[in-house]
Chain A
């Protein structure tokens, strides 16, 4: 029977089975950012250990970095302290560090692929749950906690249980105005926010086959929102074309040999899965969340569900959600007024996302009273977008054009919601308090839908805006 990519990659990286039954798994690529690493470096130092494979760990700064004023020392003393810590840690341990001076800084899950560090067949770890993003390349990529960051620094290994595997096939075609973000929100809405616990998700089907790497990254990024720690797409010609020529990618003959190996890893036609789910792309509309987790989501032309429609345990969470969101059950999702529009995050701040948002914003005007910002995922994306003139389109429409970082995705920098503001956001989490105000409210949607909401001042169906 044919193996799955998960089996092949797992076996190849298995050092041994630990006495507790978990696998000691070798990690091929370790990515580090400023927020979840200082305690790990400190634990390492306390035990008198050094980084074991410094050439396999790469660091950047993204979470806390201001995306407006740039001068060091930062006005925010704690941000400054956190920067000083990572600078010292990469210096002492001699780790490659992509800070702003390199022109290669950005959200860790954006720059890994962009630099060609992320490759098929690797195991990848990072102290960040959205490490699943890298699975778009056919890597097995895990989000880990700080103690495991320490483990990987000290040994290049982690102790982990092999997940079960669910294949999610999306076939058919997507309608105009429907994007990768809508597909993954639809998947999470169908399978639930804990449907993936204990599973890795393998995404496939004709919709995934036809997607660009940017789109596949959006899908894999939000695996964790569906409970799955790992999500991946089998490598193919699209994967190879993306990687070829990138800074850390193999070149020449090596590239040919690498590409042949990458292709050999893909799950074969008779591979067996613990579960298979199939969906039809034609059934997916532009999606908008109405609640406080990403599974509380519906089509833009639908209504906020009535509590009667929700049975069992979901109902308690829904009641809490509707109260936090101050939304009436049964009201249409379209027309919910917004205060802030955020295009950014490791889910949707790549060049193609900015293009889609700009297409909607072009020639329009951000509604009165709405604060709209565009935060590119990396310095390089920012430069490419500027070369294409996207910043002018955004600025003329009244959007702020920012430097690269996580920004209002988790509001660890000065970009925060105020009070009970409502934000249309292209990020991945609508948790209570996520965007910096405990009473703030987040509506997740695609970048094009965020741009549409910014112009309309309320949730709007992007299919109508583009058509009209």
Chain B
């Protein structure tokens, strides 16, 4: 089983999407969960928020067209476990998300599909968002190993939990290959579980 590509550095322009507790229903409304593939999800990311703002959503702002780094606030991706949310962002061209904090299932889903979520202190997120407002063409470089986000203006300290960092830097962010490696050990584990052995 082959592993994925090593992900150590992501370079791109950023787009600020402000607000705390942005849930996965908002990232991709449930009506798009009716498709049996992830393929067509990209254009529908944040659809209802964008429609409500009638062109004023940052994702519709021409200054941010083509940005690959989402810059968000607290508890991003809370709510439903739908992998459709990170899949929609990935398919829209988002390659990394920088934010104050992430909901756990969302974070794990992102790791599994090779989409790094990087946390920064609130004041740094705020200054990065302000920078993007002023200079939407600014380039951000996210360095996973050094745990920092670098701009022309300087470097911001960032954090990627050790397990996710190891996964991205070794290219083993999709766990399936490793989980398939040791069927004997899996069998041995199941053989000591009373509810599988008939008590």
Residues of chain A having any CB pair with chain B under 8 Å? 12-16, 18-22, 24, 26, 28, 35-36, 38-39, 42, 47, 49, 52-53, 63-64, 78-79, 81-82, 85, 119, 121-122, 127-129, 143-148, 150-151, 154-161, 193-194, 197-198, 224, 227, 229, 250, 254, 257-258, 261, 293, 295, 313-314, 316-317, 320, 410-412, 429, 431-434, 436, 438-439
Contact = CB atoms under 8 A, between A and B. Distances in A.
B56 interface: no
Nearest to B76: A194
B151 interface: no
B176 A254 contact: no
Interface string B155-170: 0000001111011001
A440 B163 CA distance: 40
Given A26-B189, A143-B81, 7 more contacts: A81-B36, A129-B105, A155-B179, A155-B183, A224-B105, A320-B19, A410-B30
A257 B113 CA distance: 42
A148 B112 contact: yes
B171 to A, nearest CB: 11
Nearest to A76: B34
A360 to B, nearest CB: 29
A226 B199 CA distance: 35
B186 interface: yes
A35 B161 CA distance: 30
A69 B196 CA distance: 40
Given A197-B75, A313-B122, A13 B193 contact: yes
18 contacts: A18-B178, A20-B163, A39-B37, A42-B37, A78-B35, A81-B36, A82-B34, A145-B82, A145-B83, A146-B82, A156-B190, A161-B161, A224-B105, A229-B105, A295-B21, A412-B31, A431-B26, A439-B52
A195 to B, nearest CB: 10
A147 B109 contact: yes
Interface in B36-75: 36-38, 48-49, 51-52, 73-75
A159 B178 contact: yes
Contacts of B167: 20
B20 A432 contact: no
B153 interface: no
A64 B194 CA distance: 36
Contacts of B79: 129, 224, 429, 431
A166 to B, nearest CB: 14
B127 interface: no
Interface residues of B, number: 68
Most chain B CB neighbours (cut-off 10 Å) among A35, A154, A258: A35
A194 B21 contact: yes
Contacts of B185: 15-16
Interface string B70-94: 0001110011111110100000000
B23 A431 contact: yes
Interface in B174-189: 174-176, 178-180, 182-183, 185-186, 189
Contacts of A14: 189
A254 B198 CA distance: 7
A147 B167 CA distance: 15
A423 to B, nearest CB: 15
A434 B25 contact: yes
Contact of B103 (A42, A79, A227): A227
A156 B36 CA distance: 23
B33 interface: yes
Contacts of B101: 194, 197
Nearest to A21: B163
A81 B36 CA distance: 8
Contact of A15 (B81, B84, B166, B189): B189
Closest 9 CB pairs of A and B: A145-B83, A145-B109, A159-B175, A438-B48, A20-B166, A129-B81, A38-B36, A146-B83, A194-B75
Contact of B195 (A20, A28, A78, A316): A28
A247 to B, nearest CB: 15
Given A129-B81, A431-B26, A144 B189 contact: no
B57 to A, nearest CB: 13
Given A127-B81, A412-B34, A433 B26 contact: yes
Nearest to A228: B104
A316 B74 CA distance: 11
A78 B25 contact: no
Interface string B98-109: 000101110011
Nearest to A144: B81
Contacts of A144: 81, 105, 108
A99 to B, nearest CB: 17
Contacts of B19: 316-317, 320
A150 B182 contact: no
Contacts of B176: 47, 147, 150-151, 154-155
Given A19-B166, A39-B36, A64-B34, A121 B194 contact: yes
B115 to A, nearest CB: 11
Given A20-B163, A258-B199, A317-B19, A82 B180 contact: no
Nearest to B180: A155
B194 A145 contact: no
A313 B74 CA distance: 9
A414 B164 CA distance: 40
Contacts of A18: 175, 178
A260 to B, nearest CB: 9
Contacts of A146: 38, 82-84, 109
Contacts of B1: 47
A313 B99 CA distance: 14
Contact of B83 (A122, A147, A412): A147
Contacts of A148: 108-109, 112
Contacts of B103: 194, 197, 227
